[in-house]
Every structure is written in C-alpha cells, then in structure tokens.
Structure 1
Amino acid sequence: MLIIPAIDIKDKKCVQLVQGNPNNKILELDNPVEVAKKFVNEGAKYLHVIDLDGALGTGDNLDIIEEIVKNVNVPIEVGGGIRDLEKAKKLIDLGVDRVIVGTKAILNKKFLEELVDEFGKDRVVLAVESKNNKVVIKGWKEKIDKSPLEIIKEYEDLLKYILFTNVDTEGLMRGINLDVIKDVVTNTKLNIIYSGGVSSIEDIKNLKRIGVYGVVIGSAIYKGKISLKEAISLI
C-alpha cells in the first residue's frame, strides 16, 4: 500500500481545510515546494497535489506544481479544476504522473474516455466522493442519486484507479469508517486510493488489511498525529 502525503495549494501556499471549506483553514504554509521535498526526504514514494484555486475556478497554481515536479524525484498525481483535455495535457507535459478528475468526468463519461484515449488508464484517476453513501460533486455541494459503487461500476472497464473520499470523515481527524471503505474495495477490481479522516497508525493498518491500494493523508501528518516515517515503515 502506498502512503501518499497530500499537498493542497491555494494562493501559492500549502493549506489544509476542514471539510473542503476554503474559509476554514487549519493550516497555511508558505512554500509548498519545500513541503514536498520534506515529505520525500521522509520516505514518501508518491505525492498527492490538489490545486484548490483550479478547483474553485479562481486561478491556478501550475507554476508551483511545475516547481514541485522539478524538485522531487517521485511521481505526483494532481487534481483540481481539470475540466478539459488541454488542462490535463498541460499537467502531463509538466511531468505529472497522474491527473485526477471528478465532477466533469462523472457528469460526462465521454470526457473521461477522451482522457484515457489520450494518456492511457495508468495516467487518469477518477475521484468519487461520498456523503451519506451518495456521490457528491461540485465541491461536495450537489448530490447525485447514486452510490459510490454504482458510479465505480459504470467506469470499471475504463479505469485503473479510483480516488475514493468519504466526505463524512474528511478533515475532521476523527478516524475512518472502515465498513464504508471495505464495501467499495471488496466490490471492485479497481485500485482504490482512499482519502478522508485518516488520523492514526491504526487507521492505516486497517486500510492495508482490507486491501486499499493507497492512502492519502493530510491533516494528521501536518498536525503531528501521524509520523510519515512511521507510517511508511509499516508498509
């Protein structure tokens, strides 16, 4: 299982938000590139970068992402505001390993097919975000009357990776709902990268036990509840 530290970028800074709310920051650091280098020095083999300005439609942080790619020797997946082939291509050309797409791909399967045709299924991740066992889109503001598994099954033959976020626990540092995750992992052949609420070494051990491919960890590392080195040593 991959331990994947999260770097969320807003206004050129590394931030952590509670429940995805841009007005509710629990952390702000000036230099995302230095944060990335620190994670790699601590043993991270993969990084998860989200361009929050891209996601919110208020700009982008492509320059910062390019600097991260240049300054670390591990692959990076990037999400946030990838709503057309051109933006995805720009990121891949910068040296990004995988692009993460959510709302646009869920609402328009053709867009996802175009991405996979262009870059291959190794380079595309579909973000499926769940609240009360229903998929939410547009920054968790709208709900679709489908469960995460229903969406995943629709795209199963097209993809290799799913980024599954349980919004009910995301950013709250109260641990994970293992049953919800296990239901997804055991009912699909796709590689599940899990995100949301991971706040202890015990959470990580449980995710590994049920067969999660990768786990994205943000707040718990930044707040010192989980040692990145210790987490990686378990895998």
Structure 2
Amino acid sequence: MNVFRPCIDLHDGRVKQIVGSSINDNQPSSLHTNFISEKPPAWFAKKYRQDNLHGGHVIKLGKGNDEAALEALSTWPGGLQIGGGINAKNASSWINAGASHVIITSWLFQEGKIETDRLKHLQKKIGKSRLVIDLSCRRRGDDYFVVTDRWQTFTEIKINSETLNNLAKHCDEFLIHGVDVEGLSQGIDETLVKIIANHCPITATYAGGAQSMEDLYRVNKIGQGRVHLTIGSALDIFGGHGVHYNDAVAFNKKQKSSN
C-alpha cells in the first residue's frame, strides 16, 4: 500500500519549496525558490499530526535551520523524520528531540563511496529501526547515481538491486529524491520509481516532480503499492495549484480503509 507522505523543507530557518537542481554553493544566486511560507514549521507539523500523516520528513537545507526543525519535531513527537547534517555525534539528540527517524546522506558517503564502518556504527548506536538512508540521485547516462552535499556532488553509487539490497540490511527505510525533476512539478520520474519498486526490499519514499493527484495513483500502480510519494511544490499549502492537500489526505484514508 502506497500513501502520500508530507514534508517540511527548511532553508534559512523558514519553510520553503526549492528546485533541487538549482542548489549551488558556488553560485547562490542560481537558487530557484518556488515558495516561501509565512507560516512557521509548527503550523505544518500540527496539520500533519491532525491528519495522521506519519512518515513525513523535515529536511534542513544548509545551516540556520536547527531551531525551526526542533519546533516542528516538538509539535509532533514521534511523527516526523529529520534529515540534513545528521551524523553519529548528533543523531541521538535528534531522536531525543522527537524525531521518529534520522535521515543520513552526505556523512555516509566519503570520496564518492559508502563508509560502511560509519553506517554500522550509527546502526548500533540508534538502532536499525530509527535509521533512514537518503539515496537521492541524479541521472547520468542510463544510470542513476546518489548525489550528496545538498545534491551537488555525484558519488559512485548507482541505484540498483545490489545497492538497495545491501543497504537495506542496515536501515528501516529509504528516502529517494529524483533530483533532476525535484521542485519542477512536471511529473514524476517513472523510470526511477520502477527501479525502486522492482529492487527495493524495504519501505521507500520517492519525492520529485509530482504535479497532480494522478501521480499518486501512478506511483501506486508502477510502484506496485510499495513506494510512498512525497508531494511538495504542487501542493496548495505550498502555494501550488496541482494538488489539494485535503485530496491527498483523503487518498491516504481510502488506501488504509481498503487494506
């Protein structure tokens, strides 16, 4: 059963929706922002809590977002995952602050490769059931490669059966952004969703490009009911016009009632 999973993306301490492929530390002016909320993170966390939307993620895009992230987590303890700058030193503190899971990316990958010792150490420290690995990726040729450092740096890690099955031994879920379509609201990356569905042995959430309710139904079909979908920029609560938040909530209720 797939469901809609919400998000709270934080940049400079505010809830925003950003085009993922536009992030460039060397050219800050290239950043393309779709939406900046006047509402605080707690407003979104409270809404997700009221609608029982478990499994959503809070992502800190750069520095200056800790206070905003803590505000969201304290509003719904145990209901949200946290990512952005997570490592072995601070993971436990974020769990204690109310995160259901911590999401790791850049810290796990060094010089383009997976640091297995780091992964095993963190797994032992907080437990497999609290760990989400972010395998957000970009396409290069016919393959998808994991990207780190806020999606700016390519690694050598391909999204394939070997990668997904090996890493699944150490975590509870995967979070996978299709960075090439992230924030564009021009449709999901169906090829990537199919790869995830065909090879992922654990729960996975795909994010990137969703533009309408049809994408939820499409992911349900091609994802074989095994891939959840995050919708960001297209949602009306983020200034979008493609998806009404209440319709996405209704989709979840229908999915759960039929299973």
Q: Decide whether aligned partners of structure 1 residues 145 and 63 sit closer, same or farther in structure 2, where only a CA change above 3 A counts.
A: closer
Q: Decide whether aligned partners of structure 1 residues 24 and 213 sit closer, same or farther in structure 2, where only a CA change above 3 A counts.
A: same
TM-score, structure 1 normalization: 0.88
- Contact in 1 for aligned 2:193/2:227 (Cα 8 Å): no
Q: Distance in 1 between matches of 2:147 and 2:169?
A: 22
Structure 2 counterparts to residues 111-122 of structure 1, below 5 A: 111-122=118-129
Q: Distance in 2 between matches of 1:18 and 1:29?
A: 15
Q: Which sections of structure 2, spanning at least 5 residues, go unmatched? A: 24-30
- Contact in 1 for aligned 2:78/2:99 (Cα 8 Å): no
Counterpart position of 2:37: 29
Number of residue-to-residue matches in the alignment? 229
Q: Does 1:198 align with 2:199?
A: no
Q: Distance in 1 between matches of 2:228 and 2:189?
A: 16
- Contact in 1 for aligned 2:84/2:104 (Cα 8 Å): yes
Q: Distance in 2 between matches of 1:65 and 1:146?
A: 29
- Contact in 1 for aligned 2:13/2:68 (Cα 8 Å): yes
- Contact in 2 for aligned 1:47/1:74 (Cα 8 Å): no
- Contact in 2 for aligned 1:136/1:143 (Cα 8 Å): yes
Query: Which of 78, 97, 110 is the matching residue for 1:94?
Result: 97
Q: Decide whether aligned partners of structure 1 residues 141 and 12 sit closer, same or farther in structure 2, where only a CA change above 3 A counts.
A: closer
Instruction: Give every structure 1 segment of 4 or more consecutive aligned residues whose post-TM-superposition deviation is greater than 4 Å.
Output: none
Percent of counterpart pairs with the same letter? 25
Counterpart position of 2:245: 228
2:69 aligned partner, one-letter code:
I
Q: Residue by residue, what CA displacement relative to the aligned partner does 1:43-81 show, whole Å, maximum 9, x if unpaired?
A: 53343111112xxxx34x332222222323661001011
Q: Which sections of structure 1, spanning at least 5 residues, go unmatched? A: none
TM-score, structure 2 normalization: 0.81
Counterpart position of 2:26: none
1:76 aligned partner, one-letter code:
L
Q: Distance in 1 between matches of 2:71 and 2:192?
A: 36
Where 1:145 maps in the other structure, the secondary structure is strand
Where 1:85 maps in the other structure, the secondary structure is coil
Q: Decide whether aligned partners of structure 1 residues 203 and 49 sit closer, same or farther in structure 2, where only a CA change above 3 A counts.
A: same
- Contact in 2 for aligned 1:7/1:48 (Cα 8 Å): yes
Q: Decide whether aligned partners of structure 1 residues 95 and 135 sit closer, same or farther in structure 2, where only a CA change above 3 A counts.
A: same
